[in-house]
Structure 1
């Protein structure tokens, strides 16, 4: 015999899938839903908790339970451009460049990009969107010698395609993910509240050549309820 909470779980899941509850919509309170299903609040809570664990619902302390937002998902394997990830999900990728400047690499950038002290880079700050929804804020550092023959638009809007069209094959990347708290300025760019928890990503990308030259060092901050990473082995 199927447990009562599983039946409730399946019913709520069906309501989400059929649009009775839409993405981002707040569900009724536990008391109201327990009365609707004719069960105790404990049984109702067990069903809702299982849906939260599956990522179908999201629970916010002091606010309530909501239908989880559709998240952009990146497979942590190989090197894939943000544009390709968004397109593969049937969404429209766009970017807003906040700054784009030629400057001397700092100590960290020299280390990550294997550059000599005083080397020139392009440092680009931008917001990345999926269907006009801000997904991440990023600062990309690129050795100037690699892109001096390209236009700003080639780098800012389709960097990986520009490299590959120039015969430069993209290789592996090194990625480190960490939990962070967003500051007031970046929160405004991402349309979220200051001090909200976000996902920080540090990435170094390399060409697939014999010496595996690094061509990009990126610091990104992703809105946690709009983007997720997953591993595949």
Structure 2
């Protein structure tokens, strides 16, 4: 059974789903009385909501619902770095892996590489402020090994590519979902947390494969917006 603070956190998440930005949450003593727990247990639940960017804790005033970041239009090619800056937050990364390695079969097919080819593999936890939003597995053709020399915690890979005359131009992606499972620790979420998984292939201005990336977004911290046409019926 989940700890008490986790159950309180989940109950408050349900309430937040129908709340408006700026709405106040009940005080810690009020919530402690409601759930029949100590104030420190309530505080732990509120701290987790604040870490996810769902609420803002203002000393001396209380806890308030924060506006959710604008969702990324699914049909728009925007780097994570630029998107987080558009929210008025500071993007950063924690590097998990940065190396040349043997390509998988899927990577070879996506990047049009031959048997035994290597890829530039860069795995990073992507953050907005101090909050982990995604675990990103990006791979590039081996002739882009210079990317490993960048400050991968702060620099934008797409910006570095553009500076070298390679413009990310066309993209396609597939969306699936999975539980956090083995990735939970890196994203600071429970193993059962739903993740939105985007497998994306990006081509350059010559329509040559440039990047294959699998990004696992924390569902409660990130959203994609889809615009579509409705086919006329018979």
TM-score by structure 2 length?
0.68
The yes-or-no answer on 1:195 pairing with 2:192 is: yes
Question: What is the RMSD computed on CA atoms of the aligned residues?
Answer: 3.1
Task: Output the CA distance in 2 between the equivalents of 1:142 and 1:131.
Answer: 27
User: Which segment is superposed worse, 75-84 or 133-142?
Assistant: 75-84
Unaligned runs of 5+ in 2: 1-15, 35-53, 55-63, 229-234
The structure with the larger Rg is 1
**CA spacing shift, 1:17–1:127, aligned 2, 3 Å:** closer
**Pairing partner for 2:80 from 79, 82, 86:** 82
1:18 and 1:105 map into 2 onto residues whose CA distance is: 48
Decide whether aligned partners of structure 1 residues 187 and 158 sit closer, same or farther in structure 2, where only a CA change above 3 A counts: same
Alpha-carbon distance change, 136 to 90 in structure 1, aligned in 2, over 3 angstroms: same
Runs of 4+ in 1 over 6 A off after TM superposition: none
Is the 1:98–1:126 Cα contact (8 Å) retained in structure 2?
A: yes
CA shift in 2, pair 1:120/1:17, >3 Å: closer
| Equivalences for residues 3-152 of structure 1 within 5 A | 16-21=20-25, 70-71=68-69, 73-145=71-143, 147-152=144-149
Structure 1 unmatched runs, 5+ = 1-11, 33-55, 57-65
Q: Distance in 1 between matches of 2:66 and 2:23?
A: 13
The CA deviation at 1:69 is: 7.0
Q: 1:149/1:16 Cα in 2 relative to 1: closer, same or farther (>3 Å)? A: closer
Q: Which of 216, 220, 229 is the aligned partner of 2:224?
A: 229
What is the total number of aligned residue pairs between the two structures?
A: 181
Kindly tell me: are residues 115 and 159 of structure 1, through their superposed partners in 2, closer, same or farther at Cα, counting changes over 3 Å? same
